Amino acid sequence: MSVQETVEHKYVYDFAEGNRELKDLLGGKGANLAEMTNLGLPVPPGFTITTEACKAYLATGAEPDGLAGQIATHLASLEQAMGKRLGDPEDPLLVSVRSGAKFSMPGMMETVLNVGLNDRSVVGLSAQASAGGDQAGADRFAWDSYRRLIQMFGKTVCEVPGEEFEHALDDVKRAKGTPNDLDLDADDLRGLVDAYKKIFFKHTGREFPQSPREQLDLAIRAVFESWNAERAILYRRQERIPADLGTAVNVVAMVFGNLGPDSGTGVAFTRDPASGAQGIYGDYLANAQGEDVVAGIRNTVPLQELERLDKKSYDELLGIMARLEGHYQDLCDIEFTIERGKLWMLQTRVGKRTAAAAFVIAGQLVDEGLIDLDEALHRVNGAQLAQLMFPRFRLDHEFQPVAKGIGASPGAASGKVVFTSARAVELAAEGESVILVRRETNPDDLNGMIAAQGILTSRGGKTSHAAVVARGMGKTCVSGADEIEVNVPQRRFVVGGQTVVEGDVVSIDGTTGKVYLGEVPVMPSEVVQYFEGSLDPEHIDNALVRAVHRIMTHADTRRRLAVRTNADTGADAARARRFGAEGIGLCRTEHMFLGDRRELVERLILARDNAERDAALAALLPLQRADFEEIFREMDGLPVTVRLIDPPLHEFLPPLEQLAVNVAVAQERGEDVAQEEALLAAVRRMHEENPMLGLRGVRLGLVIPGLFAMQVRAIAEAAVSVTRSGAVAKPEIMVPLVGAVQELETVRAEAEKIIAEVVGDSGVEVLIGTMIEVPRAALTAGQIAEAAQFFSFGTNDLTQMAWGFSRDDVEGAFFWRYLELGIFGISPFESIDRDGVGRLVRIAAEEGRAARPGLKLGVCGEHGGDPDSVHFFHEVGLDYVSCSPFRVPVARLEAGRAVVETGGSDSR
């Protein structure tokens, strides 16, 4: 019989076996622990259970075959490396069981420390710890570790409500008359362990498990399951992390920061994650275990203090940080623990940072020769740039801060104070801007943080939950403002003798950490000032503006897509031009029919014969011509795409109800109502059940003789007059809502006649093209291209019509539900639906170009300024995107990034 060896799937990796490339399999934490291990850094030994094991567990509800055995094998070698055994009553090995997914999800999933302690080994742990002589301290340490285990295990593995443990701890502190858990002695903590066990029993109906291997197995399961915890799901949706990655589980030999004053734990950044400035940034907490720092439970000291407390460890840490930064070539964030003067590295990763820090650090790393400009461009993004274009508090305001915390995530936010996540969500839904105020946040506050304009906490450093999550979301956050006494049950806080209640307005500055009562006036961002041309990057000492300038310049040299803007007025056009717009991709003509021109439009609509209609159009012509002249002059030398009138005509008339009332009132008074009645009749006649799908766009132009002709004439005449005055006008006439080539041909035939007549030998060239915004147009693009000199994708309408959504109705009615169910990852109006709407774009681009090589292709929907959509339009090979003026820099940046991310290749 042949020996058939079943090759067992490898589910467990020793730290020495992994590396940082294996994030998919080992998660970020595991991959980086392996990387540090292999760099020879002091990492406690351990092993990683793969994301595949997690996925298998989540799919079947049971550990996959072979996993238990592999864990046993790796545990045995861990025991051997440490010279201790899990559960040994004399000298127990303790381990932590830590979640760690591919993408960092701070505080979202579970970690259990001190696994392996039980009623017997707690005594052994104490005996081992007292080898130095301090028996009281050792006892304290051992019982502190045990109570932490029961607490974390109870909460995360057995779903015991965390507050119960916290209340029991508060009770002991109160009995002792101290606010500080360090004042509790071994007896207090032993008592606490008893109390915790009772709580555990009450909620689970069983005793706290004494078997270390059972503790380990249950903790591993709990970490697997924490992948699907509600808050983790919510966080992934917010951060657009795929739902099917699973988490790895790291089992790490414990090192102890709570062994006394010569021990401690901390977090550090190799540069300031808020500003990007070089230096030493971090928080340290003596005599504590790691979760105390991250949870912001006690106020930490700045990392610099460690130099005084433990110079040797401090120097070693600084050396390691420099080494890690050189190795990862980026800002690193680090967790470490010092056990009796011995430094241990517990985690590193490329650190999250604010938008400003992202630009500044990318610029610095280029200066330092660590990365090139392509890489710098890759490391920033349009969402960050957009964030930097928000206003900040004015410098000259008269408000005095009432408190100063840590500027944890920049920006300026004002709003009504709320104290609970639920209330934040409620008020935000009513359109209020709110500031969520908490002592500290925890993952249960996530909904409120999403809803809030800003977050203010009274405890915790730059690395507290509030700080980390707010930075990730781009929300303003001030943390650790400890002058503020927060009282959540009474929904109030007290600061400097003043009481602030729910609904009062406060302002927080996430850069300086200052907190103000009332609404502080804001000022524009310096990045905007730079784009506007009022800050010269070469001559000011502003690291951010210089970095933005440098990276934007590089993006411009790299991008293939041109960036235009949507602008309807000369002022908008001028601003967009300063922001770098290379033309107008959409000039709407609707507003040119409003205001005091309404009367002319009414005359046009009510015209009883050709003469009346022609008179109204003739009166509109010079007004339109002046509008276009202004825009052409501003865009001197750059193309301007003018869309012929698009909305249904009734939008220019008063609403039906109002007219009906006017007529009735006037009749009552015996006034002459002929004009009003005619208007009313016209509105009734024009009423449509589905105006979005009714008489608008090209359809209107074909029904109302002379309307499009007047616009075409105004455009051509304006171009000629601007050109005669020495500027260069490049008009492109765009016909909206075309679904069939015949529509376009009809409009075009008339337009060409007018253009030829007006332009004469002036040298002006007028292009005629069409929007592609009706699915049929996309599907017959080959035919339409025969009659169009350019296509511009109107992705708003295209999205509405492809999905059958009426945007105004659906966004409020059910999009939230679709997002909740994961039918959308993001609204298709925000970011292009690549599979459906994007496919229509692709088909139209390909078939259009096949029919007319060199056909100019652009997009003018709101998607033109959305980062992900810009990448898509680059891939499809469009010539330009057009977006609102403020989005122009974002589109420029993303168009450059699209090139470097596709390996610098031109996708056409």
Catalytic residues: 465, 860
Q: Judged by CB, which is closer to ligand ADP: 116, or 276?
A: 116
Q: Judged by CB, which is closer to Mg ion: 572, or 773?
A: 773
Kind of pairing, strands 880-883 and 856-859? parallel
Q: Which residue minimizes CB distance to Mg ion?
A: 797
Selection from Mg ion, ligand ADP, none that 346 binds (CB < 5 to 8 A by kind) is ligand ADP
Tokens 């007059």 -> residue:
721
Selection from Mg ion, ligand ADP, none that 285 binds (CB < 5 to 8 A by kind) is none
Best CA proximity match to 907, nearest among 881, 883, 882, 873 = 873
For residue 190, the minimal CB distance to ligand ADP (Å) is 22
Contact 894, 870 (CB under 8 A): yes
Binding stretches for ligand ADP (CB under 6 A): 44, 96, 98, 107, 111, 113, 252-255, 289-291, 293-294, 335, 337, 346-347
The beta-strand segments (E) located in 383-518 are 392-393, 403-404, 406-409, 412-418, 434-438, 454-457, 476-479, 485-487, 492-495, 498-501, 505-509, 514-517
Radius of gyration over every alpha carbon of the chain, rounded to an integer in angstroms: 33
Q: Judged by CB, which is closer to Mg ion: 164, or 797?
A: 797
Which residues are paired to 793 by β-bridges? 772, 859
Selection from ligand ADP, Mg ion, none that 797 binds (CB < 5 to 8 A by kind) is Mg ion
For residue 291, the minimal CB distance to ligand ADP (Å) is 5
Tally of CB atoms within 10 A around 654: 16
Sheet holding 247-253, edge to edge: 12-14, 46-49, 247-253, 95-101, 111-115
Pick the piece of the chain touching Mg ion (CB under 5 A) from 295-303, 327-335, 619-627, 702-710.
327-335
Selection from Mg ion, ligand ADP, none that 456 binds (CB < 5 to 8 A by kind) is none
Tokens 């049971």 -> residue:
62
Residue 22 Ramachandran class (φ > 0 left, ψ -120 to 50 alpha, else beta): alpha
DSSP characters for 787-851? H-SEEEE-HHHHHHHHHT--HHHHHHHTHHHHHHTTS-SS-TTTS--TTTHHHHHHHHHHHHHHH
DSSP characters for 883-895? E-GGGHHHHHHHH
**Sign of the CA dihedral running 630, 631, 634, 638:** negative
State how far the Cα of 423 lies from the Cα of 380, in Å rounded to an integer. Answer: 34
The SS3 of residue 383 is helix
State how far the Cα of 795 lies from the Cα of 560, in Å rounded to an integer. Answer: 21
Tokens 């999800």 -> residue:
105
Q: Counting Cβ atoms within 10 Å, is residue 12 exposed (0-12), middle (13-18) or buried (19+)?
A: buried
The beta-strand segments (E) located in 88-205 are 92-93, 95-101, 111-115
For residue 4, the minimal CB distance to Mg ion (Å) is 43
Best CA proximity match to 238, nearest among 469, 510, 419 = 469
Q: What share of the chain is helix, strand, coil (3-state, %, to 5)?
A: 50, 15, 35
Selection from Mg ion, ligand ADP, none that 845 binds (CB < 5 to 8 A by kind) is none
Tokens 């943080």 -> residue:
449
Task: Show the binding pattern over residues 760-789: x = contacts Mg ion (CB under 5 A), - = does not.
Answer: -------------x----------------
Please give the residues from 142 up to 201 whose contact with Mg ion meets the rule CB under 5 A: none
Q: Judged by CB, which is closer to Mg ion: 335, or 374?
A: 335
For residue 19, the minimal CB distance to ligand ADP (Å) is 19
Task: Show the binding pattern over residues 795-834: x = contacts Mg ion (CB under 5 A), - = does not.
Answer: --x-------------------------------------
Q: Judged by CB, which is closer to ligand ADP: 253, or 413?
A: 253
State how far the Cα of 68 lies from the Cα of 458, in Å rounded to an integer. Answer: 44
For residue 836, the minimal CB distance to Mg ion (Å) is 17
Selection from Mg ion, ligand ADP, none that 849 binds (CB < 5 to 8 A by kind) is none
State how far the Cα of 512 lies from the Cα of 505, in Å rounded to an integer. Answer: 19
For residue 102, the minimal CB distance to ligand ADP (Å) is 13
Tokens 């340290």 -> residue:
284
State how far the Cα of 863 lies from the Cα of 556, in Å rounded to an integer. Answer: 20
Q: Judged by CB, which is closer to Mg ion: 246, or 794?
A: 794
For residue 335, the minimal CB distance to Mg ion (Å) is 5
State how far the Cα of 387 lies from the Cα of 355, in Å rounded to an integer. Answer: 7
Contact 317, 306 (CB under 8 A): yes
Kind of pairing, strands 85-86 and 92-93? parallel
For residue 208, the minimal CB distance to ligand ADP (Å) is 20
Q: Judged by CB, which is closer to ligand ADP: 77, or 490?
A: 77
Q: Judged by CB, which is closer to ligand ADP: 346, or 547?
A: 346
State how far the Cα of 49 lies from the Cα of 224, in Å rounded to an integer. Answer: 10
Task: Show the binding pattern over residues 344-383: x = contacts Mg ion (CB under 5 A), - = does not.
Answer: ---x------------------------------------
Q: Judged by CB, which is closer to ligand ADP: 44, or 697?
A: 44
For residue 338, the minimal CB distance to ligand ADP (Å) is 10
For residue 591, the minimal CB distance to ligand ADP (Å) is 52
Contact 36, 63 (CB under 8 A): no
Selection from Mg ion, ligand ADP, none that 424 binds (CB < 5 to 8 A by kind) is none
Selection from ligand ADP, Mg ion, none that 107 binds (CB < 5 to 8 A by kind) is ligand ADP
State how far the Cα of 63 lies from the Cα of 774, in Å rounded to an integer. Answer: 51
Contact 44, 255 (CB under 8 A): yes
Selection from Mg ion, ligand ADP, none that 794 binds (CB < 5 to 8 A by kind) is Mg ion
Q: Judged by CB, which is closer to ligand ADP: 253, or 527?
A: 253
Q: Which residue minimizes CB distance to ligand ADP?
A: 290
Pick the binder of Mg ion from 137, 273, 794, 838 (CB under 5 A). Answer: 794
For residue 68, the minimal CB distance to ligand ADP (Å) is 22
For residue 347, the minimal CB distance to ligand ADP (Å) is 5
Selection from Mg ion, ligand ADP, none that 479 binds (CB < 5 to 8 A by kind) is none
Alpha carbon distances (Å) from 530 to 580, 762, 891? 12, 38, 17
Q: Judged by CB, which is closer to ligand ADP: 317, or 744?
A: 317
Selection from Mg ion, ligand ADP, none that 255 binds (CB < 5 to 8 A by kind) is ligand ADP
Q: Judged by CB, which is closer to ligand ADP: 24, or 291?
A: 291
Selection from ligand ADP, Mg ion, none that 331 binds (CB < 5 to 8 A by kind) is none
Q: In the complex, which residues of this chain contact Mg ion (CB under 5 A)?
A: 335, 347, 773, 794, 797
